[in-house]
Every structure is written in C-alpha cells, then in structure tokens.
Amino acid sequence: MKRPLIAREGWPFALGLGLLTAAAWWLWPYAAIVPGLLTLLVLWFFRDPERAIPGDEADVVAPADGRVLWVREVDEPRFLGGPAVGVSIFLSIFDVHVNRAPVAGRVAYREYVPGRFLAAWRERVEETNERAYTGIEGPGYRALVVQIAGLVARRIVNWVGPGEAVRRGERFGLIKFGSCTQVYLPRGTEITVRPGQRVRGGQTIIGRLPPRWKEQEEAGARGGGSGASGASGEASGSGSGA
C-alpha cells in the first residue's frame, strides 16, 4: 500500500490552516491569501516522497535531506563505544524533514535528551540542543543517528522503538521545521560525501561500511549465532512544542 505523500504529523497543521482559510474566504476573499499560502507551505514542509534506495547493504544512505556541514573522525562513547566517523547534515525549512535509517538492522538504543534550541548549523549543537538518539545494530556493525532540534524545529518525532527491525532507507522519524541530523558510523567506513554537498535521505549514498562487517555477517550465518545485544533506553517521542 502506498504511503500518503504528506507525513501524518503535518495534517493537523494543514487542516487547521485550511479551515482558517475557508472562514477567511467566507468573510472576505482577500483575507484568505495569507492562511492559504501558509497551508501550502505546511503541505510542502511535511511532504514525504517515495525514494528508490540505491546500492547494497554495505552502502550507507543519507539519514536526511539537506547540506553536509562536516565530516570528521570522532570518539562516540554513547553507542559505538569508541572511535567513529561522523557526518552532520543541516536541514533548512525547505528540505524534506522525514528521517531514514542509514543502514539495516535492529534498533538497540534510544534516548531523548532535552536541551536548547540554538541554530542547527552552529558547532556543538549535538551537545547543547534538544536531541534524540537512535542506535541501529547490524551484523558486525553499529550506527547512531542523532535528530537535533534547531532554532525553528522544536519537536522531534521517532516512530521506532527498541527491538524493532529497520530496513536501509526506511522512514523512522521526523523533525519539525528546520533542524540537523547526524550519523555516526564505524571507524573505517569509507565516506563518499564532502562538506557543502547536498544529499537526499534514503537516496544519496554517503559511505560504505568497512569490509569486516560482511565477514562477521557470513561467520554469524555459518554459526547460527546472532549479534551482540546493545543497550536499550526508552526515549520520549517528542520534545517541547514550538
């Protein structure tokens, strides 16, 4: 079954503005111009287009639409537990705000952290702003996605819970009205994007997992074993309202 082209979180805004537009039109047609334009803007913001997911399971896809702010080697103690490579993507209010899983696996970690609402392109927003963490564990690898609220975006939505399986490129959440999304990958991942480049969630390949993950997957299949369980933390699905 095909999904609606507008994310469900957008319908209350669109319907409310639509009713306001109709009432304004009934009172005075010219008064309907502003709420009518706002209705169209809301529908555009919450659009959720279908995406063809490219590559194979070793290819990491962008978790969001937007512009790459930075690519850097970091220490990620929260879920990966050590050295990692991170990619930060800034979403303007004109980008699609639905987030997608960069890799396939099982949701092994979730945490919501309240914080400030500084501009999402600033340095260290992952330490100061409201944010939600989603850790995905696959055969021989882990990936951590961080949804970060921005100056305008003040509500983080997450549709998956601990233990759920996600497919590469699958929708898993949304950030309302401008934000930043970061992904942290195992050290040795070959990153194929650069700062300033525009990417599309689920459609742009941003990297390729290191070769050792495939070896571990095949070894696990032969032995009938399963990957190690990750930490699991319940998260609030949303932050504070605008």
- Are the C-beta atoms of residues 130 and 118 closer than 8 Å to each other? no
**Which residue type does 159 have?**
W
Q: Which residue has the tokens 């800034």?
A: 90
Q: Which residues are catalytic?
A: 179
- 115-151 in b/e form (b: 16+ CB < 10 A) is bebbebbeeebbeebbbbbbbbbbbbbbbbbbbbbbb
Neighbours of 174 (CB within 10 A): 24
